[in-house]
Amino acid sequence: MSFISRVREDLSAARDHDPAARSNTEIAVVYSGLHAIWAYRLAHRLWLKGGAFQFPARAISQFARALTGIEIHPGATIGRRFFIDHGMGVVIGETTEIGDDVMLYQGVTLGGQSLAKGKRHPTLGDRVTVGAGAKVLGAITIGSDSAVGSNAVVVRDAPENSILTGVPARDRRRKPEEHEPAVDPAEYIDPAMWI
């Protein structure tokens, strides 16, 4: 996929996830979450080259952190149409794996619980939403189509179609109606309400 195609896809994802989004120009200029993602993508390409390229990759990620308040390690693996809304304070660790169509709110930590080398950060499946202030910690897996509630602390695996809430978080099965937005815009319910 070309750089321009990826940018268009990111802009579209922002419009789909944020009802306050007005135009592609506004999104491209003022959405710090997208700026952090774009910097990550550049840094990640360098990181994958290894060796001497990893230092500039880390420098880019730290520069982006200073500008956006969002820290994404260049070693993380992030899928398509990823969106960070109100991103201040988001931290994504080195061995994190994020699927497609994932959305994070402010203050989310995808962190480790160990200083051991190797996989130590979470894996999020496709279409996962993580609410504001949530902490997902350790080499755990959150199944696709799941939602993590605001301020939850998740330290165990969760199956697909889960809603995780509490400290420590417990999961429950997500009901079918908790996936579907209202057809009438006047009846719109933000998916974050289900978490």
- Cβ(67)–Cβ(35) below 8 Å: yes
* 137 contact partners, CB below 8 Å, separation of at least 6: 109, 111, 112, 113, 122, 153, 154, 155
Structure tokens at 84: 């960070």
pLDDT at 4: 83
Bridge partner residues of 72 (DSSP): 92
Percent of the chain having pLDDT more than 70?
Answer: 90
Residue 20 pLDDT level (bands cut at 50, 70, 90):
confident
This prediction's pTM? 0.87
CATH number of 3-173: 2.160.10.10
Residue that wins the pLDDT comparison between 85 and 175: 85
For 102-160, the pLDDT digits (tens) are: 999 999 999 999 888 899 999 999 999 999 999 999 999 999 999 999 999 999 999 99
When pLDDT is averaged across residues 158-175 and rounded to a whole number, the result is: 89
Per-domain residue ranges of the chain: 3-173
What are the angstrom distances between the C-alpha of 63 and each of 3, 39, 106? 21, 9, 19
- pLDDT of 180 > 70? The answer is no
Return the top range by mean pLDDT from 1-15, 74-88, 179-193. 74-88
For 76-103, the pLDDT digits (tens) are: 999 999 999 988 999 999 999 999 999 9
